[in-house]
Amino acid sequence: MTTEPTGPTAPTVHSSPLSPATIAVAAGRPPREQGGPVNPPVVLSSTYVSRGVQQPGELLYTRMDTETWHPFEEALATLEGASEPGIVFSSGMAAIAAVFSFVPAGGKVVVPRHAYQVTLGFADDLAARHGVEVVRVDVADTDQVLGAIDGADLLLVESPTNPMLEVADLPVLLAAARERGVLTAVDNTFATPLGQQPLAQGADVVVHSVTKYLAGHSDVVLGAVVTSDPDLAAKVRAYRTLHGAIAGPWEVWLALRGLRTLALRVERSQANAAEIARRLAEHPLVEEVRHPSLPTDPGHERAARTMTGFGAIIGLRPRGGREAADAVVEAVELWVPATSLGGVESSLERRRRFATESLTVPEDLLRMSVGIEDVEDLWADLDRALRSAAGS
């Protein structure tokens, strides 16, 4: 049987291109055959019948490739506007590790000073074990990034950053890196392909923690790499086969099911986040609130220019410092005290509870992932928790 991952062609209706919200629903479906299923099957097989030399596109062994990955890989790549199928991994970190493999021993990588802490930990590990020069930059400071990328093998950007929500000028940074021959990767986990299109803005590679918005229900851990460059795609596939961090079939099936409602979930959680951020900005018990939707936010103008949504993560510093922040986490009853983000349920945590979080992240910063609940219920719970924390 030959089921080579197909180069994604965006589904069209009467030759008209479809909007991203429709692509999320329509891409990666089986052919419309009479009596055929509307959803792709899950194939539970670690190996495939094979004799002699493997022919191009022929399935052989599931660590190398399986048809169960293809519908999700095709749908995600179509959403990101890639001409190569996506490459699914067992976690976002496995996908990021594959991207870091582009940096040779003794090479140089530029990363955000604030980024997912394990991504930064991975870069530090490359420095310690392979003599890689790691330069941390404020991605919102365009001059600083441009001053750092000369001679780099990779510029890895998160935007908005985790957890500080700094917004990078992606079109400018990516164009400058391309001019100087620096490979670029954008972690698009926070924005999702509905909020930001890094490949169209000039990125070589996009990476995702599929665990978050793409799957959307806090029930799987999964990652993906997306690129339009066939050579990079081949390298990432070879890396996956060699290192073996492959996705399980059920996880990929769940991620595709989650992807079907991405537009609805993102629309609702972004609207909730913007409203909650607006109310927090006027709240007497709030020291600082960060969300790119706020006209006063340092990233607002740039996000409005380069993104198609402001995302649903809020940075909140309640009045009263670290103790007040911890008390808010204790007091909420609807918001879930938990790490991770991008699920249908709203959650929050104080990031510096982790000893590994960057020391420039304020001690009292709560990272809030706004979900799809009724906004008034979310607000009532949060407002009550802020008041209770102030009184405790």
Ligand X SMILES: Cc1ncc(COP(=O)(O)O)c(C=O)c1O
Cβ proximity to ligand X, 261 vs 340, nearer residue: 340
Q: How far apart are CA 224 and CA 259, in angstroms?
A: 13
Give the x/- contact pattern for ligand X in 206-225, rule: CB under 6 A.
Answer: ---x-x---------x-x--
- The CB-side HSE value for 296 (13 A sphere, CA atoms) comes to 8
Using rule CB under 6 A, residue 347 touches ligand X: no
Using rule CB under 6 A, residue 165 touches ligand X: no
Q: How far apart are CA 215 and CA 344, in angstroms?
A: 10
Length of the chain (residues): 392
Range 61-80, binding ligand X (CB under 6 A): none
Which of the stretches 10-18, 89-97, 195-203, 381-389 binds ligand X when contact is defined by CB under 6 A? 89-97
Sheet strand arrangement including 347-350: 286-290, 313-318, 366-369, 347-350, 336-337
Q: How far apart are CA 363 and CA 325, in angstroms?
A: 9
Which of the stretches 23-31, 183-191, 267-275, 366-374 binds ligand X when contact is defined by CB under 6 A? 183-191
- Contact between 316 and 282 under an 8 Å Cβ cutoff? The reply is no
Q: Pick the catalytic residue: 48, 116, 213, 239?
A: 116
Which of the stretches 61-69, 85-93, 261-269, 356-364 binds ligand X when contact is defined by CB under 6 A? 85-93
Query: Smallest gap, in angstroms, from Cβ of residue 218 to ligand X?
Result: 11
Neighbours of 226 (CB within 10 A): 31
Using rule CB under 6 A, residue 188 touches ligand X: no
Q: How far apart are CA 216 and CA 258, in angstroms?
A: 6
Q: How far apart are CA 119 and CA 214, in angstroms?
A: 19
- The CB-side HSE value for 321 (13 A sphere, CA atoms) comes to 1
Query: Smallest gap, in angstroms, from Cβ of residue 341 to ligand X?
Result: 6
Which of the stretches 15-23, 185-193, 349-357, 370-378 binds ligand X when contact is defined by CB under 6 A? 185-193
Q: How far apart are CA 281 and CA 68, in angstroms?
A: 46
Contact pick of 187, 204, 251, 364 for ligand X (by CB under 6 A): 187
Cβ proximity to ligand X, 27 vs 88, nearer residue: 88
Using rule CB under 6 A, residue 369 touches ligand X: no
As given in the structure block, the two tokens for residue 7 are: 């180069």
Using rule CB under 6 A, residue 112 touches ligand X: no
Give how many residues touch ligand X by CB under 6 A. Answer: 14
Q: How far apart are CA 36 and CA 40, in angstroms?
A: 10
187 is catalytic: yes
Contact pick of 116, 122, 213, 239 for ligand X (by CB under 6 A): 116
Q: How far apart are CA 213 and CA 234, in angstroms?
A: 26
Task: Collect all residues with Cβ–Cβ distance below 8 Å to 391 and sequence separation of at least 6.
Answer: none
Q: How far apart are CA 178 and CA 160, in angstroms?
A: 21
Cβ proximity to ligand X, 187 vs 364, nearer residue: 187
Q: Pick the catalytic residue: 108, 113, 136, 212?
A: 212
> φ, ψ for residue 158 (rounded to 5)?
-105, 135
> φ, ψ for residue 17 (rounded to 5)?
-65, 155
116 is catalytic: yes
Range 265-304, binding ligand X (CB under 6 A): none
Torsion of CA 248, 249, 251, 252, to 10 degrees: 120
Using rule CB under 6 A, residue 358 touches ligand X: no
Query: Smallest gap, in angstroms, from Cβ of residue 374 to ligand X?
Result: 26
Contact pick of 77, 79, 82, 93 for ligand X (by CB under 6 A): 93
Using rule CB under 6 A, residue 138 touches ligand X: no
Residues designated as active site: 63, 116, 187, 212
Residues that bind ligand X (CB under 6 A): 91-93, 116, 158, 162, 187, 189-190, 209, 211, 221, 223, 340
